Structure 1
Amino acid sequence: MLATTAPNSLVMNPTSMLVEMKSFIPSSYTFETEIQKIKQELLQGVLDCSAKDETNEEYLYEMQDIIDHLPKLPEIQQQKLTIPEFDEIEVKATDSVETKKFIRKVNYEFLGFHCNHK
């Protein structure tokens, strides 16, 4: 194993530290999967907030508390589309020419006799 420090020195050698760390971390372990696991547990409210460092433990409890107090998102559900149905508006003899024209236009559009291509 490489020495992380020179004899009687306070300066750490980062390269040798990384080499030594690799021997402690199994090759199957990835930080990404661990982070994803923590995120899932945090969102589900089942994260074990105990930690070796008191500051980290407080941080974990605060994060869990923040997540727990966020408003819950509604479940997204696919709904069947409904086609609106409109009754035809009757044109009366007493209506003005402009009103008759408007009613005919509305009936034409709302009753589905047109295509709205752009």
Structure 2
Amino acid sequence: MSVFINHSNHPSANWSQERKEAALAYGGIMDMPFPELQADYSEQKINEVVQKYHSEIMAMSPAAVLCQGEFTYTYGLVRLLKEHGITVLAACSERLSREEWQGDVSRKVSYFKFVKFREY
């Protein structure tokens, strides 16, 4: 069975129906939570984490991987997966914002509406 790996901090259980259907077009959805990466990690440490997850992902032979999170890790993992012929995607959303007022205090509330997956 083909698998779509959701490698992000956004569990698929919380996705909209549209987003789930777009992912299911690639195969069954499997969540692989994004690693916790400390701001003080060296480039070498980030690369070690990239290598670990790359190996785990490749062992599953996914049809596609959604990869979004910390930029340097994402870049490294996306590059490696693409070098090995894996389709790697980012979620594209429309940001819908509105300002809410309570007396003289305002706050901006943003909503994100999934539109599509875009290949790296």
Whether TM exceeds 0.5 here: the answer is: no
More RCO (CA 8 Å, sep 6+): 2
TM-score by length of 2: 0.21
More strand, by proportion: 2
TM-score by length of 1: 0.22
